[in-house]
Homo-oligomer: A and B are copies of this chain.
Amino acid sequence: MVGYQFMGKTHSHAYRDLPFFFDTDAKPIMKAISGRDEAAVKAAAEDMGWASYETDWRTLIARDDIDVIDIVTPNHTHAEIAIAAAEAGKHIITEKPLALTLEEARRMYEAVKKANVVHMVSHNYRFAPAVQYAKQLIAAGRLGKIYHVRANYLQDFIMDPDFPLVWRLKKEAAGSGALGDIGAHSIDLIRFLVGDIQEVVGMMETFIKERPLGEMSGGLNAQSDGEQTGEVTVDDAAAFLARFENGALGTFEATRFAAGNRNKNKFEINGEKGSLRWDLENMNNLEVYLADDELGLQGFRTINCTEEQHPYAGAYWPPGHIIGYEHTFIHLIYELMNGITNGTQPKPDFEEGVKNQAVLEAVQQSQTTKQWVKVDHVGGG
């Protein structure tokens, strides 16, 4: 694994906990982790259960005893590491968004295709049982033709103007702000559930344009360390309208300035025959409306998706005993392991990552042109 911050922890835990709940032929063995700061990476390896560590990811990739490279570093490093890993014949999973730009993303996809390795992008929220069950309902036609999607990913962790200028707030490291960090999750969820987006028009805004310098590597609790400030070069918030290839209309919003919403990743989908609502903060629940319910008894049902009918849920506890955020990563890694064992390519893979990136890029372009942008026209597509 390359990197060891927040996402390093979620992925490490998933490798460690997977075998307890799921049987896979390929069992993850936590061989090695890499990072540039030796003291820190050594401590991380110990804390998270990695057998060894490297201070250069190139060394890690060169090791024969490594089959899978898991990339949890900042966004601007994904492409270089992933392409090198592909060339070394390693299977790859990388954090989202896939890349800084659509062009980079395409190069990464070319590399893994050429290398014929298994590749995934870590859009973990797809793997909540409630979301997988939503997918089954839609695929079975229970909603009929889809008319509407509204997807919001609302956070509030950088609302304090004293929150420092971490790497996620610099364009050169992050690509974009709320859009690429959390909006990319919404896009993945909705593409998974509803299908491809044809065109978009969006707006992006940076509410706080200067912030104190601080730990650039810092996580959500980063502290500023001085009086110097620097420019925020990504969006604090983004919103866009979308028209889907199947005729549905979508509204998307991603923001880090929605007070009181710690991690409100939610969506609503309205179809001809029914509707769905989901919210990560109560992620075990799915609300379902079925238009063919008896008159008088029509209403949204709140389903606690902890029953054996709900994908992955059967591996855990009896109905009504909920699981949490970290389990979405267990399911993601489960699919990765299955892909490696069976020689199949699980989703979401780099191709999905490219399509996601194309939407991100179209939104950014529309912010500049103030016009609708066709997704398949961006990036010289």
A residues near B (Cβ < 8 Å) are 6, 10, 12-13, 16-17, 20, 47-49, 133, 143, 147-148, 150, 152, 154-157, 159, 201-203, 205, 207, 219-220, 237, 239-241, 243, 247, 249, 251, 253, 255, 257-264, 268, 270-275, 280-285, 288-291, 293, 295-304, 306-307, 309-310, 316-327, 370-372
Contacts and interface: CB of A to CB of B under 8 A. Distances in A.
A8 to B, nearest CB: 12
A155 B321 CA distance: 11
Contact of A241 (B20, B201, B219): B201
19 contacts: A6-B318, A17-B20, A20-B47, A133-B296, A150-B152, A157-B319, A201-B372, A203-B249, A240-B241, A257-B270, A259-B270, A262-B304, A283-B322, A288-B297, A295-B309, A298-B301, A321-B324, A322-B324, A371-B371
A325 B326 contact: no
Nearest to A301: B299
B263 A320 contact: yes
A321 B310 contact: no
Nearest to A317: B325
A155 B203 CA distance: 26
Nearest to A325: B321
- Copies of this chain present: 4
Contacts of A281: 284, 304, 320, 322
A316 B9 CA distance: 9
A255 B201 contact: no
Contacts of A207: 147, 247
